Structure 1
Amino acid sequence: MEKRVLLAVVLSVMVIIIFNYLYVKFIPSPQPTKISQNQSNNIEIKKEEPLKKEIKPEEIKISQVSSEELKNYILISPQYEVSITSLGARFNKFQLKNYSKEKNKKEPVNLISSPSEGLPLEIYLSSAPEVAVINYKGPEKNIFSLENATSQTISFLGSYKNITLEKTFTFKRNSYFIDLSFRISNQGNEVIKDGILLRGVFSPLVDGTKYVFKGPFYYTDHLNEIKLKKDLEDYTGNLKYLGYEDTYFMVALIPQNMGNATYRATFRNIDKNTQEFILWLPPFELKPN
């Protein structure tokens, strides 16, 4: 049997008009997902063994790389239009069709609010932050539509040293929820012990009142808004989801199929108006194929 580590997450983008009301109505506390026997055979997580070398969040710098074969992939939905760059298979545009940045202007809200600091969603190894920006190979077709379909899947393949990586996005018509699966397989001869990090960087998506919280958050059995009083905040414990919110919109990352795992989340100020969140998944051990 092929040995691989499988990371399954759901990236949800919720359009929120009256935050306190819709948050309770549309984002209830998710229940832990039961892992089947087949799923557990594919996931090898060593909670008790720390990483040999753990990079502190404040030391992580995503290096920029160039490629002659960079491509953009466009998906058009009734609710939004997105663009995914092959560089890291990350969103470089996520425009909401039904919402404008200002009442009297037609410019749509773009959820990619800090492109110079990082494009969501960066996924990389704890020992190799440069994995976040490797160039992935996508499908031959580069324009997709949900106008006459219920869902659309777009897959990307990449490689780094002795590992292969696969990112698969599944978009659903009439929904702001996006399924994202991330697979790693070990093509070398040595066991890999590492960790997977998921990083998002955001600033306020629209102008709004200064009296409403704007910034990162995480959800346990209640909402925890991170009001960063220092450069870095660190949380370890049970975690249902985390993300970024502003006056009217939020982006939330919801891990699935990981049982009752304990997560680590870090939150950092990039500058006065820009914050970063990182979800640290439990360390894994990946055997050769």
Structure 2
Amino acid sequence: MDRRVLWAVVLSLLVLYLFDAYFVPPKKQQPPKKAGETGEIPMPEKKVGEVLEEKNLDSFPSTSHGVFMPEKEIKVETPLYSAVFSSRGGTLKRWSLKNYFDQLGKKGKPIEMVAGTKDGRYPFGLTLVWEKETELLNIPFECEQNSLNLTEDRGKGGVVFLGKTSDGTLIKKTFVFSAANYLMEITVEVTPLPTRSLPEGAVITWVQQLDYKKQDYDSSLGFIGPAAFAEGKLNEIKIKKLKEGYQTFSQGVRWAGFEDKYFLAAFLPNNQGLLSAEIVKTDKETVLINCFEKLKPSTQGGRDFFSYGFYCGPKDIDILSSVGRNLEKVIDFGMFDVIAKPLLYILKYFNKFTHNYGWAIILLTIILKVIFFPLTHKSYKSMKSLKDLQPQLTALKKKYGNDREQLNKEMLNLYRTYKVNPLGGCLPLLVQFPIFLAFYWVLLGSIELRHAPFILWINDLSAYDPYYITPVLMGASMFITQKMTPTTGDPTQAKMMLAMPIVFTFMFLKFPSGLVIYWLVNNILQIFQQLYIDKRVS
């Protein structure tokens, strides 16, 4: 193997190791939990305001902004999540995912998607736009319901909030939920007094409180922050790079929201796209996602309305794809995306039969080994031929030792004469290296593998082996393959090859256990393949 290629591979893996060891916080180990449903997520075709019974708003008392009213909380339960809404502004206070936990074990708590600000701001605050903006954040709303409980038998249900501003404008906010998915439909109806014109538009807001103690918002592994699909591409805005405190998208906005490595909360317009979306950093600890839309005249006259879809759940590629709106684009494996996503789909397909992602990884490794067998066989023959040429190469070095240019010419002539490629032994490693890196990102950033168990002590394939057994076995198997591989006779290169198992073992100590299993199984298959090739060549 060429020394420069070998060093390039080692240094590349070393960079991955250092990033994983020092920039990714270690995961806590815990028993797995059952994942959420991945069925199709339909968008309601009927306007939400028509689903529930109309209420009489005329008798509802108007309240100016900021006046204190007793807060009422409305609880919503579905098989996939539980939510709590507040009558103060008709806002969302909690949204907990029942099938996903912050850590393994009994101490694990359901993932909480909502984090209000210290001054009491929560998602779904509404701003109406007339000559100047009028914020309806703390206007009290009335809700006749105390709770809503959806089961698999009861597919859909809704919660209605009614309110009136100080100038007599009537507001109706309706939220419709489904027991089968993580999608919610939001409809807002606005009815001003006859003496006042209809508002030009409305802004609905997602509020995200930043917690720098728990999250690394500048991490290079796994984006955390506001995102929008606009102008035909995914836009992920690093919080520290928000220009002048805000950034606006006004063309082809298909969705906008906030994401972390595994979860996403996003507004989904029910037409061709939002009029605009604005990402605002109001202070060091608060980010707002403001979605602006023009109001549409109601068929009942004298009122306007707008409606949104809202997704709040896991970044599962099948679930996101079923929603549409380019929501699945939020899963981005960077420069290895073209390899990583097919690998993820193949793993998910194999998992349908194995019901275990560890066995799915092993099955995929075997298939890849079979596919690359002709290349490996050719590589081995090239290395064997190179070893046979060592006496001639040694003689050339003695003869032209002081003339480097002539030595290189004579060595190339020798390679051409015997049809030997000096880099042929590197090909299998170079071909597998992109797959290795793609696997790394899949295992590190796919929620399908988060807390996914294998066997025995390995209960999270996306976390490192807590007992370091698999990395040690991987290093031992790599040492065996190195001893079985033909050498070129270069003592320096031979020492490097023998040192590689030690280097790789230490690097793999903190790698995802699923990735270590892939490399370990690949080495074991390589040993048997080498025995087979040796027999055929002999």
Q: How does the TM-score come out when normalised to structure 1?
A: 0.70
Selected match of 2:293 from 258, 266, 281: 281
Query: For residues 256 and 164 of structure 1, what CA distance do their matches in structure 2 show?
Result: 23
Residue of structure 2 equivalent to 1:240: 254
Residue of structure 2 equivalent to 1:6: none
Higher helix share: 2
Contact 1:114 1:274 in 2 (8 A): no
Deviations 1:120-144 (A, max 9, x none): 11112133443122111112x3022
CA-CA distance at 1:162 after TM superposition: 2.8
Deviations 1:25-66 (A, max 9, x none): 9999x9xxx9xxxxxxxxxxxxxxxxxxxxxxxxxxxx7542
CA-CA distance at 1:171 after TM superposition: 0.6
Residue of structure 1 equivalent to 2:190: 184
Tell me the amino acid that sits aligned with residue 136 of structure 2: V
SS of 2:69's partner is coil
Selected match of 2:268 from 254, 262, 269: 254
Selected match of 1:165 from 168, 171, 179: 171
Contact 1:136 1:156 in 2 (8 A): yes
SS of 2:135's partner is helix
Query: For residues 262 and 82 of structure 1, what CA distance do their matches in structure 2 show?
Result: 25
Query: For residues 147 and 199 of structure 2, what CA distance do their matches in structure 1 show?
Result: 37
Contact 1:261 1:282 in 2 (8 A): no
Residue of structure 2 equivalent to 1:223: 234
Query: For residues 182 and 283 of structure 1, what CA distance do their matches in structure 2 show?
Result: 9
Query: For residues 182 and 87 of structure 1, what CA distance do their matches in structure 2 show?
Result: 16
SS of 2:294's partner is coil
CA-CA distance at 1:184 after TM superposition: 0.7
1:270 lines up with 2:282 in the alignment: yes
Residue of structure 2 equivalent to 1:116: 118
Residue of structure 1 equivalent to 2:147: 143
CA-CA distance at 1:273 after TM superposition: 4.9
- Sort the Cα spacing of 1:128 and 1:225 in 2 relative to 1 into closer, same or farther, 3 A: same
Query: For residues 160 and 76 of structure 2, what CA distance do their matches in structure 1 show?
Result: 13
Q: How does the TM-score come out when normalised to structure 2?
A: 0.39
Query: For residues 207 and 96 of structure 1, what CA distance do their matches in structure 2 show?
Result: 19
CA-CA distance at 1:106 after TM superposition: 2.4
Selected match of 2:159 from 120, 144, 154: 154
Residue of structure 2 equivalent to 1:66: 68
- Structure 1, unaligned stretches of length 5 or more? 1-24, 35-62
Tell me the amino acid that sits aligned with residue 180 of structure 2: N
- Sort the Cα spacing of 1:107 and 1:261 in 2 relative to 1 into closer, same or farther, 3 A: closer
- Sort the Cα spacing of 1:251 and 1:236 in 2 relative to 1 into closer, same or farther, 3 A: same
More displaced 10-residue stretch of structure 1: 104-113 or 164-173: 104-113
CA-CA distance at 1:266 after TM superposition: 1.4
Selected match of 1:106 from 105, 108, 111: 108
Contact 2:255 2:273 in 1 (8 A): no
Tell me the amino acid that sits aligned with residue 278 of structure 1: N
SS of 2:226's partner is strand
CA-CA distance at 1:95 after TM superposition: 1.0
Residue of structure 2 equivalent to 1:196: 202
Deviations 1:183-233 (A, max 9, x none): 111223232343211111214687579222111111132211122423111
Query: For residues 256 and 250 of structure 1, what CA distance do their matches in structure 2 show?
Result: 18
CA-CA distance at 1:261 after TM superposition: 6.2
Selected match of 1:125 from 128, 145, 158: 128
More displaced 10-residue stretch of structure 1: 157-166 or 221-230: 221-230
Bigger RCO (CA 8 Å, 6+ sep):
1
Deviations 1:1-39 (A, max 9, x none): xxxxxxxxxxxxxxxxxxxxxxxx9999x9xxx9xxxxx
SS of 1:96's partner is strand
SS of 2:137's partner is helix
Contact 2:254 2:273 in 1 (8 A): no
The total of aligned residue pairs comes to: 233
Residue of structure 1 equivalent to 2:77: 76
Residue of structure 1 equivalent to 2:429: none
Query: For residues 27 and 198 of structure 1, what CA distance do their matches in structure 2 show?
Result: 26
Contact 1:191 1:288 in 2 (8 A): no
Query: For residues 77 and 295 of structure 2, what CA distance do their matches in structure 1 show?
Result: 36
Deviations 1:88-112 (A, max 9, x none): 1111111111122223422221111
CA-CA distance at 1:77 after TM superposition: 1.0
Contact 2:254 2:274 in 1 (8 A): no
Query: For residues 262 and 77 of structure 1, what CA distance do their matches in structure 2 show?
Result: 28
Tell me the amino acid that sits aligned with residue 112 of structure 1: V
Contact 2:208 2:287 in 1 (8 A): yes
Tell me the amino acid that sits aligned with residue 246 of structure 1: D
Tell me the amino acid that sits aligned with residue 149 of structure 2: S
Query: For residues 274 and 115 of structure 1, what CA distance do their matches in structure 2 show?
Result: 7
Residue of structure 2 equivalent to 1:45: none
Query: For residues 111 and 207 of structure 1, what CA distance do their matches in structure 2 show?
Result: 13
Higher strand share: 1
SS of 2:123's partner is coil
Give the structure with higher Rg (CA). Answer: 2
Residue of structure 2 equivalent to 1:7: none
CA-CA distance at 1:262 after TM superposition: 6.1
SS of 1:132's partner is coil
- Sort the Cα spacing of 1:263 and 1:144 in 2 relative to 1 into closer, same or farther, 3 A: same
Residue of structure 2 equivalent to 1:52: none
CA-CA distance at 1:235 after TM superposition: 2.1
- Sort the Cα spacing of 1:99 and 1:128 in 2 relative to 1 into closer, same or farther, 3 A: same
Tell me the amino acid that sits aligned with residue 236 of structure 1: S
